[in-house]
Structure 1
Amino acid sequence: MTIVRKDDWYSSLSQYIDAAFRRPFAYGEFDCTLFAAGAVEAMTGVNLYADYAGRYQTLAGGLRHLKKLGFDNHVDYAASLFEEVHPSMAQVGDIAVVDTETGHGLGIVQGSRIYVAQPGALGLGLVDLLQASRAFRV
């Protein structure tokens, strides 16, 4: 599958992030994977999780859906779709992997920071790009 950014990707991404900024975290509705997938959809028009959004309520449930696709986790799924780049080379709109208390989380690069959806939080948080352990070019 070839995923290409639309001509108006930047404004579409900005509108998506603005709409997500105060959204509460909820597995299967608005978690780190669905946040990143929504950003990809805003930039490219490709919905990577159309069949799975709303069909799980826990991290374990989301991982079960990914295992059905043949992936151990959401990071492996992202790695199968996008070119991996060193985090220092990540650009606006790329997917970044950050290590969390519950495992790896996905976020969206915005300059020197990463927007992330956080369990137990309302809306998006910001993490320094230097905290990314991996990154994928969208």
Structure 2
Amino acid sequence: MIRKTPGWQARLAACLSASARADFGFGQLDCALHGASALAAMTGVDLAAPYRGRYRTLRGGLRHLRRDGYADHIALAAAHLRRREPGEAPQPGDLAVVETEEGPALAVVQGASLYLRSPAGLGLLPVSRASIIFEVP
């Protein structure tokens, strides 16, 4: 089971800080890899390891995921993390799904905010924008 390890808060903060400073790039730092990097920082488990650096477009990333049996990056997260029930309070470090113009994106819960990586940078959205919350225990 994927679980946060001691010291996860500091590692998550460093991960989010690095995400804010780095350039966006599919296969390097996109919304899916932002969520996967946060998960890896907290737990040591990198669900995106097989995909990092192997695609340069959203379509290319989806092609790799589909070859492995996942419809998309949300399905990959769903295969490994429990979905919180409606009304169940999200916790810091949980992963959230946010609907964007480009499709569903992964964001990281921090208090009442979601940290979402997009081509424009690291943005903040209210937790109420999440359509799904995945627990990172």
Report the TM-score when normalising by structure 2. Answer: 0.94
Cα contact 1:87–1:130 (8 A) shared by 2 = no
Q: Match of 1:51, as an amino acid?
A: P
Cα contact 1:13–1:93 (8 A) shared by 2 = yes
Residue 128 (structure 2) pairs with residue 130 (structure 1): yes
Ranges in structure 2 where 5+ consecutive residues have no aligned partner: none
| Partner in structure 2 of residue 51 of structure 1 | 50
Q: Match of 1:6, as an amino acid?
A: T
Instruction: Quickly say closer, same or farther: Cα 1:126–1:87, change in 2 above 3 A.
Output: farther
| Partner in structure 1 of residue 112 of structure 2 | 112
Instruction: Quickly say closer, same or farther: Cα 1:132–1:32, change in 2 above 3 A.
Output: same
Cα contact 1:87–1:134 (8 A) shared by 2 = no
Instruction: Quickly say closer, same or farther: Cα 1:59–1:102, change in 2 above 3 A.
Output: same
Aligned residues: 135
Ranges in structure 1 where 5+ consecutive residues have no aligned partner: none
Shift of 1:22: 2.0
Report the TM-score when normalising by structure 1. Answer: 0.93
Greater than 6 Å deviation, 4+ residue runs: none
Superposed counterparts of 1:53-132, under 5 Å: 53-85=52-84, 86=86, 89-119=89-119, 121=120, 123-132=121-130
Q: Match of 2:3, as an amino acid?
A: V
Query: Cα RMSD between the aligned structures?
Result: 1.2
CA deviation string 1:25-63 (max 9, x = no partner): 111000001000000110011111112101100101010
CA deviation string 1:88-133 (max 9, x = no partner): 62111000000000110000001111001113x1x31111110110
Q: Match of 1:24, as an amino acid?
A: D
Write the distance in 1 (CA, Å) between the matches of 2:6 and 2:109.
18
Write the distance in 1 (CA, Å) between the matches of 2:130 and 2:38.
18
Q: Match of 1:128, as an amino acid?
A: P
SS of residue in 1 equivalent to 2:49: coil
- Of all paired residues, the percent bearing the same amino acid is 44
